[in-house]
Amino acid sequence: MDRLGRAEPELDISPGQKMLSAVSGSLLTSLLVTPLDVVRVRLQSQPNTSSLPRPSSSSFPSFTNLPPNLGVTACCREVFWVNNTSPVCLAAGPTLTTSVDSITPSTTTAAADCAVDETRRKTYTSTLDGLRKIARNEGLTSLWRGLSPTLVMAIPANVIYFTGYDILRSHKRSPVNRYVNDGYAPLVAGSVARISAAAVISPIEMFRTRMQAAPAGSSGVGVFKETLLGLRNLVQAQGYTSLWRGLTLTMWRDVPFSGIYWWGYEAGRNRLRDLRYNPTAINQDSSLTSRPDENHTATFVDSFLAGATSGAIAAIITTPFDVGKTRQQVLTDDHQKASRPRAERGPLKPEERSMPRFLYHIWKEEGSAGLFRGWAARCLKVAPACAIMISSYEIGKKMARSMNERKASER
């Protein structure tokens, strides 16, 4: 790119080569950051829980009406709830035939410990806590749950996104170059490219998000089938447009993110170039262009640092929209209720409201902490993802340009 952020003449780089660069970056990025994305989805979709007090045995309701064979064989593996409303679980011994008369204060205390520990085992308090608990309780491979749809989603999305951005910034007939000031061109080009990409891959993203939000205890194949069945029921009840549920929130998240990211990336990379080649120009406007002799290391370092910094800033700013999108997409509908007319369904769930009202509901119920839940996991995912993706893309284009130049010189 030149000093103003516009790409150098692209006569030597074909669209196919740009797409190949985007694909290679997508593969590498998806493999490295999917575990952080799994933790982010779990953090944002889990219910709001306060610290769980350890109840005393005196606070339990009467057990006289309970079935005589109620219990669990191993604490913190299965918890049986009475009528789905009681906060009490019963922990039996080695059999399931514990009688009501055998219930003692020590038994009920163990039951309380079991319930609390089971809940805490499924509650994630931070990114590192989520990584540790998912790997320990569900297996290490669960951290890559949803990798297949992630790859299916990331490859076409990044091809559309990065190639589209390059075209909007470099093509002579691009309306961005013709009508938009260079200072705002990255904002506009990044936003338009992201709208196109998000509209194409929104159904795949919903499938991936639901897979990653699936609770512990299911195998990968079981989660895949269950998620597919849930989406089929959703389509039968509400039509194919329901697959784009959350697209509005996705746009609210991705469009400003892309605008902020590309503006920050181009500004940051230009400053890094200035610092390397013309330090005196760091605080003044410079006409320095991309150096033709810039090696691969300089290209990688500049694009990596600028991409990571800009991506982290954009991720923090847009986290509330990411929280709203995640919660809306993991919402599970009652199939029979969803098939009824709108007037017979009762009041709307918070996730079914408009974006501003839904985010206001989160803020009112959970405060700012709710709106920014999972921000650390999001930044830890987005910053390296942006850095790896953009540096891979820039290196790929540079390698393609060098290869084309060698071929041209041999003619």
pLDDT at 304: 94
Which residues of the chain fall short of a pLDDT of 70? 1-12, 48-122, 214-221, 246, 249, 279-293, 329, 332-346
**Residue 313 near residue 238 (C-beta atoms within 8 A):** no
Tell me how crowded residue 91 is: count the other CB atoms within 10 A of its CB.
22
| Inter-residue long-range contacts of 59-66, CB under 8 Å, 24+ positions, other chains counted | 60/88, 60/108, 60/112, 61/86, 61/88, 63/90, 63/100, 63/103, 64/100, 66/90, 66/100
Report angle CA 342, 345, 349 to the nearest 5 degrees.
Answer: 100
Residue 365, amino acid: E
CA atoms of 358 and 311, how far apart (whole Å): 25
Residue 105, amino acid: P
Tell me how crowded residue 128 is: count the other CB atoms within 10 A of its CB.
13
Provide the token pair at 410. 């041999």
pLDDT at 11: 45
pLDDT at 309: 95
Report angle CA 169, 275, 162 to the nearest 5 degrees.
Answer: 25
Q: Tell me the residue length of the chain.
A: 411
The model carries a pTM of 0.64
Provide the token pair at 155. 């490859």
pLDDT at 218: 56
CA atoms of 400 and 21, how far apart (whole Å): 9
Sequence-separated (6 or more) residues with CB below 8 Å from residue 148: none
**What torsion, rounded to 10 degrees, do the Cα atoms 335, 371, 247, 5 define?**
-160
Sequence-separated (6 or more) residues with CB below 8 Å from residue 15: 163
Q: Which of 317, 311, 300, 297 is nearest to 265 (CA)?
A: 311
Alpha helical stretches, state H, 239-288: 247-277
